[in-house]
Amino acid sequence: MSRLRIVPGTTAVWGMLPGAATAMMVMGEAYGADVRLVAFMQYLRVVLVAAAASGVALLFVHGGGAPRFAGGYFPPVHLQNLAATIAVAAVGGGVGLASRIPAGVLLGPLALGAVLNVMGWVTLELPPVVLIASYAVIGWNTGLRFTREVLAAAARALPQSLGATALLMAFCGALAWLLVVLLHVDPLTAYLATSPGGVDAAAIIAASTKVDTPFVMALQTLRVIVVLAIGPQVARWVAGTLTRTAPQPETSEPPDLGDLD
């Protein structure tokens, strides 16, 4: 997309990198990309991947599993565990923000909660109502980022963005198939673990189905970290490639004035 001048400069790189959408927008703007197009391409990918993952989940679940909230929306809550969970979220989010790492507010609580839970020091308590409210906020946050200005700026690149996103999803689907064949991971777990959408979207779908959620979250988090690490290098490489392949302006020879003598 960059070589064909569908979008300017390295905008396509930041728009198509399957990392944290917000982080890609911030980093893309810092590296001179058109942040409006980056936002459109990133959230188009998130929406398409989430929709596809939901469809795949329906195909494999077949409605036979037990409801996620079998105890109702207001089951008994262990107040001590709930307080510990809130503390993990607050401390981890604060550390993530203070460290200024991309997506730190998400990765901080995730890492802290994982360590404390593995050590047996904290049992996380997630009431269904809190989960539902969190999912609603995530959905609103994503949907409200689509503005008329963003859609107008991205109209010309929409067909190519759809095609590129479909190719990215197909490639990740092939990775999921390899996990199934080589590691004997169940298909839905493999698909959710390799889907190039948001970590939060994968977590929401994994939480509502019978999959290996820790495996899904481990691979999703690894994907985000890798993309955040290699994104600037990829963008610089593409920018250098575009500079080398850009057509050079033709230089006209000065006219021969000898015949005028």
**In the chain, what are the domain boundaries?**
11-75+127-243
pLDDT of residue 61: 63
Q: Are 31 and 232 in contact (CB under 8 A)?
A: yes
97 vs 55: CA distance, rounded Å: 34
Output the CA–CA distances (angstroms, integers) from residue 93 to 46, 107, 113, 239, in the order listed: 23, 8, 11, 34
Amino acid at 243: T
Per-residue pLDDT, averaged over 41-53, amounts to 86
* 33, pLDDT greater than 60: yes
* 174, pLDDT greater than 90: yes
pLDDT of residue 69: 54
Per-residue pLDDT, averaged over 185-210, amounts to 83
Per-residue pLDDT, averaged over 97-124, amounts to 81
* 100, pLDDT greater than 80: no
* 52, pLDDT greater than 50: yes
Query: What is the pLDDT confidence band of residue 54, given thresholds at 50, 70 and 90?
Result: confident
Minimum mean pLDDT range among 150-154, 203-207, 208-212: 150-154
More confident residue, 34 or 184: 184
Per-residue pLDDT, averaged over 179-206, amounts to 86
Give the global pTM. 0.66
Which residue bears the tokens 């993990």? 88
Q: Are 38 and 10 in contact (CB under 8 A)?
A: no
Nearest CA among 30, 29, 36 for reference residue 7:
36
